[in-house]
Structure 1
Amino acid sequence: MQTVTAVRADIHAWMSLAAEVEDLFGPLVDDPGFQAALMRNIERGTALCVRAAEGRAGSALAGGLLLSARHPHYEITWLAVEGKSRGQGIGRLLVDSALRAFTSPPCTVDVTTFGPDHPGSGARLFYEELGFESIGQLFAGGSRQVYRLQLPRT
């Protein structure tokens, strides 16, 4: 299992992954904003993915991550793991790979995830296990929790 930088041939696979998680994230596949963000990240090399069964470009994805990289502040803007691959360390692998590849400490890495009232609220525990700390809540169609990781870790 390894992370790779996504390429244009992966777009269809990204959309399939996005379709699977729309029940958590809301509409993505038909959202021009999501499509533009995906293309922007692919073009600048900040879209990471784990291809299912170590497949070639364009094969199904086990997970994907988009990162906004503006030193000294970075943001994980999207992270998803397909249902049958959850609990296998793919999310951790994606985050660790993004931190190694794109961040330059000292810096901060933020992520906005689901609040405690959302069915996907288990993501909060995932980020806490990675060392992220809660810095506040947002309310936009349900609560969202904002987490920050300070690098180097103190």
Structure 2
Amino acid sequence: MIIRAARERDVPGFLEPAAQVEHWSGPMAGDPGFRAAVDRHIGRSTALVAVSPQRQVPLGGLLFSVKEATGAGESPTYHVRRLVVAERARGRGVGRALPADALRRFVRGPGTVEVITFGPDHPGAVASAACAFYEALGFAPAEAAGAGPECGSRQMFRMPLG
């Protein structure tokens, strides 16, 4: 697998896997706001895509951002905004490889990485194993986050960095 900065032609690599989880997370693939977010991240070079080396077929994608520290002694907060993996690529390390690559590319020095995923009572939390996945990456459950578009609960996960 190759992970690289996403390009405009990679947008289907975000939309296809996003459509595959809409039953858990609410509308994304046809949502103009989601498409605009993908376009913004591509324009900022903070969208990554995993592709198969042979055919350059998208396997998944990640949107990443940083909130710079605003005061002395504060550290930046990094955000995994969206991580999507195509059904055909799940269980092959794509979901682990994308955040690992984002941390290598975008993180400079100490700080905190945050991601919002399904809350523990959300049906998608069990079916997708999202909570266990983020914990295996080193994230710890934090406070509850606002409900998602499908009205399911959401949970913040946080990982401190050196």
Q: Which residue of 2 aligns with 1:89?
A: 93
Q: In structure 2, which of residues 125, 130, 149 is the aligned counterpart of residue 123 of structure 1?
A: 130
C-alpha distance 151-97 of structure 1, shift in aligned 2 (>3 A) = same
Structure 2, unpaired ranges of 5+: 69-75
Amino acid at match of 1:40: R
Residues 1:66 and 2:63 aligned together:
yes
Structure 1, unpaired ranges of 5+: none
Q: Distance in 2 between matches of 1:99 and 1:144?
A: 23
Alpha-carbon shift at residue 31 of structure 1 (Å): 1.1
Q: Distance in 2 between matches of 1:54 and 1:69?
A: 32
Residues 1:150 and 2:160 aligned together:
yes
Aligned residue runs from structure 1 range 1-154, under 5 A: 1-56=1-56, 60-71=57-68, 72-121=76-125, 122-140=129-147, 141-152=151-162
C-alpha distance 24-52 of structure 1, shift in aligned 2 (>3 A) = farther
Amino acid at match of 1:29: A
Amino acid at match of 2:154: R
Q: Distance in 2 between matches of 1:21 and 1:110?
A: 21
How well do the aligned residues superpose, as a CA RMSD in angstroms?
Answer: 1.5
Alpha-carbon shift at residue 142 of structure 1 (Å): 1.6
Q: Indicate if the aligned counterparts of 2:140 and 2:157 stay in contact, CA closer than 8 A.
A: yes
Alpha-carbon shift at residue 139 of structure 1 (Å): 4.4
- TM-score (normalised: structure 2): 0.85
Alpha-carbon shift at residue 97 of structure 1 (Å): 0.2
Identity %: 44
Q: Indicate if the aligned counterparts of 2:13 and 2:49 stay in contact, CA closer than 8 A.
A: no
C-alpha distance 12-88 of structure 1, shift in aligned 2 (>3 A) = closer
- TM-score (normalised: structure 1): 0.89
- How many residue pairs match? The answer is 149
Q: Distance in 2 between matches of 1:17 and 1:79?
A: 9
